[in-house]
């Protein structure tokens, strides 16, 4: 098993190129099930979750030809969808094949998903919506057995709470449904927007893209002539590397990014005193004379993202004063706190709220990653820790960050990947 060894108190300079967004690429790859043609996806991040979904598609009968950062997918030879536990257990996003598979084949079996242990992320909303569209769904031996022998029917779906994968799943299902499907309380994340835009450009009419009410005009089972496309930049990776510059209080530039996707994050950096400079595709963070404390509440896009909470919590340990971070989306997403405390962070938890007393002098030690974003928080803390830090169980990290140690090495960080 791999781990990362970091020497703290390093200087950084230069720029880091941001990879394609994992959370955009996964639904876009699942969307290939709706295509009648061979499609090419570019700017694909080379991370574990992408390879897991490619394995799933290949096992189902798709032809997948992958280069380092692109893939060609042809799903015309898939005859049925049975997504087994062996694949699905490692990645919750496997549930994204449910909507398009049911719409195309009118029957599919998908194992209940696994993935990060950051709290309940039930698929009830997906299943309820598909039932409203005419599907019959049974849970049998850990599998979702979904049938729609007469095809899916357009209807109005009101999500009780905003769900990113739920919105993506139902948009894909609705693309082949008979009639118009209206999704109320839809997710507005850039990753959902890109999915809708690609389908729209491929001939599936979608109204309200980027709003909370999306209308998908289904084409009654006719497969889609899909365009080739490039995955949007990863806004969470971008935010993470900006946190690296921030926690060291040094200038750092990220390239191949989309600043408008990070408005809520950039505003928090500015509240903390950092100067942010942007172009159409770059963001530069500049140091401040004093890192100010901050108050953050995680919410759905366009508010502050839960996937940046752990990184800002690490950053807040270096602020001059008391910061408050409230996690409203997942109930177990403070598991990195105990590891940061071992490094010397002064953090108090009360339910869904973390109080961070800065500025803490952190010391290097052995720490263990508990989920994907917690991994990056520990690496950020290691950058300012006195001495050597070993971050273990980085298979979590490899699910979502492409070549992290190489990118950090290139800007001056002393970091090495080693074997246990």
HEC string for 270-325: HHCCCEEEECCCCEEEECCCCCCCCEEECCCCCCCCHHHHHHHHHHHCCCCCEEEE
Asked if 270 contacts 32 with a C-beta cutoff of 8 angstroms, the reply is: no
Ramachandran area for residue 179 (φ above 0: left; ψ -120 to 50: alpha; else beta): left
Q: Which of these is catalytic: 116, 155, 196, 243? A: 116
Q: What are phi and psi of 395, to 5 degrees?
A: -60, -25
As a whole number of angstroms, the distance between CA 190 and CA 245 comes to: 24
Please report the DSSP string for 211-269 in residue order. Answer: SSEEEEE--TTPPB-PPPEEPPB-HHHHHHHHHHHHHHT--EEEES--GGGGHHHHHHH
Annotation marks residue 64 as catalytic: no
Q: Which two structure tokens, joined as six digits, stand for 166?
A: 């739920």
The DSSP 8-state label assigned to residue 363 in this structure reads B
Spell out the residues 6+ positions from residue 190 whose beta carbon is closer than 8 angstroms to its own.
21, 24, 232, 235, 258, 261, 301
Q: Which two structure tokens, joined as six digits, stand for 72?
A: 């060609």
Please list, residue by residue across 318-348, b when 16 or more beta carbons sit within 10 angstroms of its beta carbon and e when fewer do. bbeeebebbbbbbeebbbbbebbebbbbebe
Q: Which two structure tokens, joined as six digits, stand for 70?
A: 């692109």
As a whole number of angstroms, the distance between CA 400 and CA 69 comes to: 14
Spell out the residues 6+ positions from residue 379 whose beta carbon is closer than 8 angstroms to its own.
4, 6, 391, 397, 404, 408, 415
Q: Give burial (CB, 10 Å; 0-12/13-18/19+) of 13.
A: exposed
Q: Which two structure tokens, joined as six digits, stand for 173?
A: 């299902």
Is the previous residue joined to 226 through a cis bond, with omega within 30 degrees of 0? no
User: In whole angstroms, how far apart are CA 396 and each of 90, 186, 365, 401?
Assistant: 10, 28, 19, 9
| Catalytic positions | 116
């Amino acid at each position: 098993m791999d781990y990362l060894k970091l020497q703290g108190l390093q200087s950084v300079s230069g720029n880091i190129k941001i990879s394609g967004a994992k959370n955009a690429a996964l639904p876009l790859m699942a969307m290939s099930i709706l295509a009648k043609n061979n499609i090419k996806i570019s700017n694909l991040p080379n991370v574990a979750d992408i390879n897991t979904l490619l394995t799933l598609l290949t096992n189902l009968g798709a032809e997948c030809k992958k280069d380092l950062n692109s893939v060609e997918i042809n799903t015309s030879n898939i005859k049925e969808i049975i997504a087994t536990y062996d694949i699905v257990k490692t990645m919750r996003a496997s549930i994204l094949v449910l909507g398009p598979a049911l719409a195309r084949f009118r029957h599919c079996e998908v194992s209940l998903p696994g993935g990060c242990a950051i709290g309940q992320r039930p698929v009830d909303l997906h299943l309820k919506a598909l039932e409203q569209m005419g599907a019959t769904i049974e849970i049998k031996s850990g599998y979702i057995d979904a049938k729609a022998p007469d095809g899916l029917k357009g209807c109005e779906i009101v999500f009780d709470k905003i769900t990113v994968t739920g919105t993506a799943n139902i948009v894909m299902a609705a693309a082949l449904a008979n009639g118009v499907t209206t999704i109320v309380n839809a997710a507005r994340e850039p990753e959902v927007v890109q999915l809708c835009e690609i389908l729209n450009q491929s001939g599936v009419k979608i109204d309200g893209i980027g709003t909370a009410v999306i209308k998908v005009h289904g084409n009654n089972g006719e497969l889609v002539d899909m365009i080739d496309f490039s995955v949007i930049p990863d806004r969470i990776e971008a935010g993470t590397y900006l946190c690296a510059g921030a926690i060291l209080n040094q200038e750092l530039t990220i390239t191949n990014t989309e600043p408008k996707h990070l408005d809520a994050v950039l505003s928090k950096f500015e509240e903390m005193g950092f100067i942010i400079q942007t172009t159409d595709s770059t963001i530069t963070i500049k140091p401040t004379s004093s890192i100010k404390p901050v108050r953050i509440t995680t919410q759905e896009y366009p508010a502050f993202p839960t996937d940046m909470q752990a990184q800002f919590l690490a950053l807040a340990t270096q602020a001059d004063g008391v910061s408050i971070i409230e996690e409203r989306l997942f109930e177990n997403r403070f598991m990195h706190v105990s590891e940061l405390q071992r490094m010397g962070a002064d953090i108090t938890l009360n339910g869904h709220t973390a109080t961070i007393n800065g500025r803490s002098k952190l010391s290097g030690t052995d720490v263990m990653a508990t989920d994907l974003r917690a991994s990056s928080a520990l690496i950020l803390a290691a950058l300012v820790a006195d001495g050597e830090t070993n971050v273990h169980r980085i298979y979590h990290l490899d699910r979502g960050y492409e070549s992290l140690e190489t990118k950090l090495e290139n800007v001056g960080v002393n970091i090495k990947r080693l074997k246990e």
